[in-house]
Amino acid sequence: MLIMGIATVTIGLLPDASVIGIAAPIILVVLRFLQGFAVGGEWAGAALMAAEYAPPKHRGLFAAFPQLGPSIGFALASATFLIINLSLGDKSEAFLTYGWRIPFVGSAVLVMIGLYIRLKIEETPVFKQASDESAVPTGPRKLPVWESVRNQPRQILLGGASTMMLLAFFYIGTAFLSSYGTSAEGLGHSRSTILSLGIVGAMFFAAGTLGSAMLSDRIGRRAVIVGSCVVAIPWSLLLFPILDIGTSWSFAIGLSGTLLIVAGIYGPVGAFLPELFATRYRYTGAGMAYNLGALVGGGVTPLVAASLGASLGSPAIGLLLAGVSLVSLFATFGLPETRGIDLAASGNTAAR
């Protein structure tokens, strides 16, 4: 959490290229890398804590509350930039000079609140039991990365591939579509329009996250994730034709639909990935799987999408997303259903 806070505030204070030259974009890329590194570690801890504290029959719902961070964060970020944009002007010198920096610097307050809460929370009973050598003779792992890779490589690889579509759709639906919607080469909407529609899309994202998590408590995590992947394939091919209609309504439909599909996986995955791993290296295993999906889906896919869009047009991006969705679908079929697994056991059926 401290890494995220320091990196984010530093971005807000970073001098531009006119002052420090090429060092500015280099430092910015390093800071963005640190943000991603921080999110990867913090997500696993938050998801595990919620899942291990939850009643077994409602684990999906409880584990979905940390999953609300991206949707609420996207809404708050859009609202913050919208207020600043309306106050300073869409392309005013004030906004370009210092206005965009205000949310980054202001994030320090949120980080301090989050850090305070995190330091006050006790470890879960499941973790305490696993750490008690009288309960688990082998005790906690000294090298959980090695233990995870050696004992559950299949869960790490397939879990990462299963979440690829989630991260690809999330970054395409937020960062990429925001740029595509406002750029002259894209749709040419005003920034205030895109930010306003981003808030609406985030509300669909939040509601869908809770809804899919509750559904996973009833019919299973894998079933909900598989269903989302199946829907994602045709939607990938329809997304840019809908966006390219060029109206505000078409952008709202494209963005909200994309984020609803993200929510279909993001709701159950907070319980699904932790349930795949044995207690003694659950944090490490779930974190590695999630970050593997983030590396390919959230890191590589948007870069490839930008290149494809520039050279072959927006339909090529749809084909790319459909391909990623297909990979996630097959990977999810290779994983077991985890609903109802006892997290307090030193190992579980999904871990074998």
How far, in Å, CA of 41 to CA of 215, rounded? 27
Q: Give the number of residues written for the chain.
A: 352
Closest CA to 8 of 41, 43, 47, 36: 36
Q: How far is CA 129 from CA 151, 175, 232, 280, 336, in A?
A: 21, 42, 40, 10, 25
> Which parts of the chain have pLDDT scores under 70?
89-92, 94-96, 124-144, 184-186, 344-352
pLDDT at position 349: 45
The gap from C-alpha 63 to its chain's centroid, in whole angstroms, comes to 14
Q: How far is CA 143 from CA 173, 281, 285, in A?
A: 37, 9, 12
pLDDT at position 278: 82
pLDDT at position 136: 47
The 10 Å Cβ neighbour count of residue 348 is 19
Q: Decide: 209 and 267 in contact? Cβ < 8 Å.
A: yes
Closest CA to 42 of 80, 12, 7: 7
pLDDT at position 141: 53
pLDDT at position 327: 95
Q: Is 347 left (phi over 0), alpha (psi -120 to 50) or beta?
A: beta
Q: Which amino acid is at 344?
A: A
Q: Helices marked H in the chain — which ranges?
A: 2-13, 17-20, 23-53, 59-64, 68-88, 93-94, 101-120, 125-131, 144-151, 153-171, 177-182, 191-219, 221-243, 248-275, 282-293, 301-312, 314-333
Query: DSSP secondary-structure letter at 340?
Result: T
Q: Cα-Cα-Cα-Cα dihedral of 224, 297, 111, 182, to 10°?
A: -100
